[in-house]
Amino acid sequence: MADTTPLVMKPREDWFRWACLALAVVGALDSIYLTWIKLAKSQALFCTAGGGCDTVNNSPYSQINGIPIAVLGLGTYLIVIALLALENRIEVLKTYGPLAIFGLALTGTLYSAYLTYLELFVIHAVCPYCVVSAVVVTSILILSIIRLLRSRPDEAETAADET
């Protein structure tokens, strides 16, 4: 008979969870800043006037129907933060939270790859803050894959439970 008790987070898996949380906070702060400079039409720190940040931020690809792309990133990071914060408190998130985070991170990474393509080959300018967001969401994706692989019950343990 298979064991139906919920998986208990081991310290190593918990470390991956906290690393994802820290990265999501960094991504959210980056997205807040990008949203602010877009809406305030201000110059980004550490970027030269008319440089990569300005060019990318003023391109037609920097928004969808008037909503800055950074707002979409912020929403993604806030959802990841919420899922991670509630993962040990809500039963269904104990099982499906890591999978939801993987899905969000995969979607964010694919969209960031598309935006990076646009920066390099269409806009011909690179915004360092956008690069930070792309690296952060890709790092969350990598950690979420590790978390998913580690949360799978060991096949040897499963076989032993069945006998």
Domain ranges across the chain: 11-40+53-151
pLDDT band at 155 (very low <50, low <70, confident <90, very high): very low
Q: What is the mean pLDDT of the chain?
A: 87
Phi-psi region of 122 (alpha: psi -120 to 50; beta: other; left: phi over 0): alpha
Q: Are 75 and 34 in contact (CB under 8 A)?
A: no
pLDDT band at 53 (very low <50, low <70, confident <90, very high): confident
pLDDT at res. 103: 98
| CA-wise closest residue to 29 among 80, 101, 78, 82 | 78
The C-alpha atoms of residue 79 and residue 61 are separated, in whole angstroms, by: 23
| CA-wise closest residue to 105 among 66, 133, 144 | 144
The C-alpha atoms of residue 105 and residue 91 are separated, in whole angstroms, by: 22
pLDDT at res. 156: 42
| CA-wise closest residue to 20 among 151, 149, 138, 153 | 138
Q: Are 1 and 161 in contact (CB under 8 A)?
A: yes
User: Residue 23: helix, strand or coil by DSSP?
Assistant: helix
Q: Please, what CATH class does the domain formed by 11-40+53-151 belong to?
A: mainly alpha
pLDDT at res. 41: 83
The C-alpha atoms of residue 49 and residue 46 are separated, in whole angstroms, by: 10
pLDDT tens-digit readout, 66-124: 999 999 999 999 999 999 999 989 999 988 999 999 999 999 999 999 999 999 999 99
